[in-house]
Amino acid sequence: MNITTVLLIILCVVAVGVSGADVRVLKCPPTDGKTDFYVFNREPLLPNPLAKLPIGAIEPGGWLRGQLDLMVTGMTGRLDEISPFLTKESGWWNLQSRGWEEAPYWIKGVGDLGYVLDNREIKIKARKWLDAAIASQDEDGYFGPPENKEKHDVWPNMVMLFAFQSLHEATGDQRVIPFMTKYFRYQMNLPVEDLIPESWQKVRAGDNLESIYWLYNRTGEPWLLDLAKRLHERTADWTGGIQSRHVVNFAQCFRQPGVYYQQSRDAKHIAAVERNYNEMIGEYGQVPGGMFGADENCRPGKTGAQQAAETCAMAEFMYSDESLLGITGDPTYADRCEEIAFNSFPAASTPELKGIHYLTAPNQVQLDSGPEHCYQNGGTMVSYSPFKVYRCCQHNVGQGWPYYAEHLWMATRGNGLAAVLYCASEVKAKVGDGTEVRIVEETDYPFEEQVRFAIHAPKEVRFPLTL
């Protein structure tokens, strides 16, 4: 059940009264026009048709608000009470012991949960870890556990950078821009052989690239684009083909050429995104729900509906679609995101969001902790629990619903707004001549097919509204 199928409808609305509206049907939003109020791509980056609104501009309602509220009282909001990776023994806290991806994953999701709901208690949980990370920054710009620095492993830092970006978007924290600038100087000064030399970071460095562009669009420092080019050249070659059939790697990394496309402007990069997606889904994704069979990794011949995908791969796949939607304006990515969000992602958690399982399959009828399952790994794969799940999913699931809520509405060029992912919500944003409008969206989509918009403005203002 999809509203955004192939075309976008753009209305030039005059509020109050929605009088004199001009209606046009386009394949994607325009890439020209004024961008007076929100952060779009700076030259020479490719003009992006859609830009993320500041966190807090969108107030989700309906079923999505229910999921977010359940997260607060469920596993994500209270994970620091039970996770051994979220204690003061973590290297992200004491800067002495080991600290890898688990704490950054959780901070990335729980911080955004707090900002989206404006929940003080949840925001405090994330803030104390972010404050510790800022205080950890060395003179050379590196931050985080020293053991990771010794190994030249910046993968966990890539995750933490997303949390800092959200902190800045939500609060305007003035520490974030100089902190990230100093850190990217550290990366720029690394010998080339020490920049993402191996392991997860080699395939996942598209996340680092995205953060570089986020900072460039706010500072305009030209050397950041030099770093971006260098980083792209050091990243596994997703432009040349699928570089990993590990489920999270693919869900997260297939978008990498599309991210770099903003700088290269070379059509081969955006074409590589669709080629990789179609190749993977064509062989392993012939099942309902928007995911593909990769119970840890894709395995030849294991393509049926009893094969499964990791919970955190769903969250990463949803974000990849949200990111690509902003870069291209192609509503196909909204469709793909919705398919996962409405089908696969809810099945990965208990109804009250107090536990998840590692793997979810469309035809998975036996959800126990026993070993009689045709999956690559042993151990507890499919029983619901806040404890007995692989640690990546336990900590990374938290980004799914908050990031979805942040992309319900986006800014368009021409000082307009776009309804991107349909859900009951309220958005406040500057449009047209700078007038702040409030749009209330009433719908029970996807459980009904009617969407109603009420547009409120203090005076008459003309602006494009994209559906």
What confidence tier does 20 reach under pLDDT thresholds 50, 70, 90? low
Per-residue pLDDT for 79 more than 60?
yes
Q: What is the mean pLDDT of residues 158-172?
A: 98
Structure token digits, residue 238: 């997703």
pLDDT tens, position by position, 352-376:
999 999 999 998 888 888 777 888 9
pLDDT at 324 over 80: yes
The predicted pLDDT at position 226 comes to: 98
Domain boundaries in the chain? 8-466
Give me the mean pLDDT over the 188-203 stretch: 95
Q: Which pLDDT belongs to residue 198?
A: 87
Q: What angle do CA 352, 401, 212 make, to 5 degrees?
A: 150
Confidence of residue 8 (pLDDT cuts 50, 70, 90): low
Query: According to the model, what pLDDT value does residue 3 have?
Result: 41
DSSP-derived 3-state class of residue 26? strand
CATH code 3.40.50.10740 for 8-466:
no
146 pLDDT tier (thresholds 50, 70, 90): very high
Query: Which pLDDT band holds residue 14 (cuts at 50, 70, 90)?
Result: low
Neighbour-count burial for 411-441, b at 16+ CB within 10 Å, e otherwise: bbbbbbbbbbbbbbbbbebbbbeebebebeb
Sign, CA dihedral 365-367-369-373, equals: positive
**pTM of the entire structure?**
0.95
4 falls in which pLDDT band (50, 70, 90)? very low
425-431 β-sheet, strand order: 58-60, 425-431, 435-442, 452-456
Contact at 8 Å (CB) between 429 and 53? yes
Q: What is the pLDDT of residues 403-434, one digit of tens each?
A: 999 999 999 999 999 999 999 999 999 999 99
Which of residues 368 and 124 earns the better pLDDT score? 124
| Reported confidence tier of residue 11, pLDDT bands at 50, 70, 90 | low
Residues 6 or more apart whose CB falls under 8 angstroms from that of 44 comprise 225, 263
Distance CA(430)–CA(426), nearest Å, equals 14
Q: What are 362's two structure tokens?
A: 């469309």
| Residue-level pLDDT at 372 | 76
Q: Report whether pLDDT(278) > 50.
A: yes
- For residue 159, what is the enclosing H or E element? helix 155-171
46: burial class by Cβ within 10 Å (0-12, 13-18, 19+)? Answer: middle
- Per-residue pLDDT tens digits for 29-73: 999 999 999 999 999 999 999 999 999 999 999 999 999 999 999
- Give the model's pLDDT for residue 165: 98
The per-residue pLDDT of the chain, averaged, comes to 94
CA dihedral 427, 405, 106, 358 (to 10 degrees): 170
